[in-house]
Structure 1
Amino acid sequence: MAISIRLPSESSTPPHYRYRQNFLSPRIWRRILPVVLVFFLLVESYRFLSTGSPAPPTQLLQDTGAITPSPGGASTAAAADLDLGPPLTQLKTLVIVACHAIWLGGPTAGKEENEWVLESYQRGRNEQIVWGRHIEAGVKAAQEDEGALLVFSGGETRPGVGPRMEGGSYFDLAVARGLIDAPLLNRTTTELAALDSYQNLLFSLLRFHELTGSYPEHITLISYAFKKARFVDSHLAAIKYPETKFTFIGIDPEGIAEEEMEKIKLGEGKTREMWGKDPYACHEGGLRGKRRHRNGGRRGWGYKDTVMEQTVRGLLGWCRSRGAKGQIWEGGMLPWME
């Protein structure tokens, strides 16, 4: 008996199997893929043309709810994360005492040099006497204006003495001397991130904003008289704060020999020249190197978390933009500009 064997032909292949073979065929995908890409391109083009140009970053953040104004001036998210208390909205003036060293405490309330942590160039000058006068001038300015916030500004600048801050030690000294009464105590704070004079000014302004939810209508700053040009011509210009709303109280050390004072002023002239070339201390080495040297505690600052204005955030990050090229701020209107 003869046995015949039939091989399966294409007609005998199940329809669903033939469909799967055709669908996975590279020839089919070469035809479909361009059509899919063109479709998605047309859809995205339609969405762009129908909604207009993209909104600016601030508007996008507000539209998505990422940043919305809060009573404290910070974003809603930041306020929730930081648990900010109610703002001191009655304060309109900022009084800054720029700090220069750390007081360790002692029986003379800062009148003796051995109670201070000093740099080598500060020794033997009795500069602690003028620092006390700076504190007194700041307290007096704040007491004369019931709408003023007194800020002692200076960070953890001295290695080897633990997490002690310039600003905190100045406040402790003011209390130890009985300079701050109860009413002023509620209008006094510290700014504990600044590592140089530029940051004394800018960070104290942002500290004011943290406490009040607004920016100061006037700033009074107390430091050495020989540093006035640095603050006015360099720092004030760098942050675009109006000079008409700024008062500088300068107090220089007394009892320093004239020759020594000339050396101090000569050094200040060189420092001011450096600030003129690098207004935001962006360049590695030089002014930024001094910051790094003073920041042995590796302290950061969180002011970007408590400001909502994109221009202020841009100013804080200006070194990553054109600031590194020595250019003055050109990123838009800052909230304190006229």
Structure 2
Amino acid sequence: MTPPSRLIVICGHAIWLGGPSKGSKESEWLIQPFQKGEIPAFYAHINVGAAELAQDPESVLVFSGGPTSPKTKLSEAASYHNLALANRWLPLNHPRVLLEERAMDSYHNILFSLVLFWEKFGVWPRKLTIISHAFKRERLVNGHCKAIGFPLDRIQCVAISGSKAVNEQTLEGTQLTLGQWKTDPHGIGEELSGKRRGRNHWGVGQRLFGSEEERERAGVDTRLMEDGGESLVEGGRRPWAI
């Protein structure tokens, strides 16, 4: 059987707790105050991802996002998948749908999803599709993907924002965060790694690989961090770029 060649990543932003509205009411979600009005965007991300999967038999859809709320151990990824099933956008037990439940930021949405694809299929994806907010496009593609070393000419970014206009506070926060990632592209400095630890209420493991043997088989140069994470080595091997 020919392995898949395209990775579709839906970046998680919130947690759907379940409910009779099947996610259409904000009361069913754990969201931050600045995310009010963004539920239509979350819906669109999931719906578009399911459609992209259905149209491409060589693709794999990954819902990415860890349990980022202290109120529940439910991950963003699992909650998005639950919503897709509740709305019948995906069939149960789809063989090309995976859950990446460790990412605590957008950089790791991409990197952990790449590693999960390799773990499941034994190859690295040739093409990458990222589904997220329009105002995060620059950070995701020219920030994270460039730092990770995935060829930019093999990336598609499906950028969809919600029904509300992005407010000034959100834009200011986005620009500030983008600047932080420019000076710390792998998020290993105290500021960005501290934000990641602050979201990791349930102590989810942040290493890329489960063992040294797995790391060697993957052919990726990494280093273990003091905080228990694992970082790519700048200028090291990136087998997905070949």
Could you say which residue in structure 2 is the equivalent of 1:134?
A: 45
The structure where helix makes up a greater share of residues is 1
- Rounded to whole Å, the distance in 2 between the matches of 1:328 and 1:222 is 26
1:266 aligns with 2:172: yes
User: Secondary structure of the residue that 1:308 maps to in structure 2?
Assistant: helix
| Residue from 53, 77, 101 that aligns with 1:167 | 77
Could you say which residue in structure 2 is the equivalent of 1:115?
A: 28
Could you say which residue in structure 2 is the equivalent of 1:296?
A: 201
Could you say which residue in structure 2 is the equivalent of 1:198?
A: 107
Whether the 8 Å contact between 1:239 and 1:329 is mirrored in structure 2 is: no
Report the aligned-residue RMSD: 2.0
Whether the 8 Å contact between 2:17 and 2:28 is mirrored in structure 1 is: yes
TM-score, normalised on structure 2? 0.90
- Rounded to whole Å, the distance in 1 between the matches of 2:90 and 2:206 is 27
Q: Which amino acid aligns with 1:145?
A: D
Q: What is the aligned length?
A: 234
Bigger Rg, which one: 1
Could you say which residue in structure 2 is the equivalent of 1:157?
A: 68
CA spacing shift, 1:310–1:211, aligned 2, 3 Å: closer
- Rounded to whole Å, the distance in 2 between the matches of 1:102 and 1:318 is 29
CA spacing shift, 1:328–1:300, aligned 2, 3 Å: closer
1:276 aligns with 2:201: no
Q: Which runs of 5+ in 2 are unaligned?
A: 227-231
The worse-fitting range, judged by mean Cα deviation, of 270-279 and 297-306 is: 297-306
- Rounded to whole Å, the distance in 1 between the matches of 2:184 and 2:149 is 15
| Residue from 267, 287, 304 that aligns with 2:192 | 287
What is the deviation of 1:266?
Answer: 2.4
Q: Which amino acid aligns with 2:238?
A: L
TM-score, normalised on structure 1? 0.65
CA spacing shift, 1:293–1:266, aligned 2, 3 Å: same
User: Secondary structure of the residue that 1:304 maps to in structure 2?
Assistant: coil
Could you say which residue in structure 1 is the equivalent of 2:95?
A: 186
Whether the 8 Å contact between 2:34 and 2:170 is mirrored in structure 1 is: no
CA spacing shift, 1:255–1:310, aligned 2, 3 Å: closer
Q: Which runs of 5+ in 1 are unaligned?
A: 1-87, 321-326
Superposition misfits of 4+ residues, deviation over 6 angstroms = none
Could you say which residue in structure 2 is the equivalent of 1:37?
A: none
The structure where strand makes up a greater share of residues is 2
What is the deviation of 1:120?
Answer: 3.2
| Residue from 90, 98, 122 that aligns with 2:3 | 90
Could you say which residue in structure 1 is the equivalent of 2:241?
A: 337
CA deviations over 1:48-99 (Å, ceiling 9, x no partner): xxxxxxxxxxxxxxxxxxxxxxxxxxxxxxxxxxxxxxxx752111000000
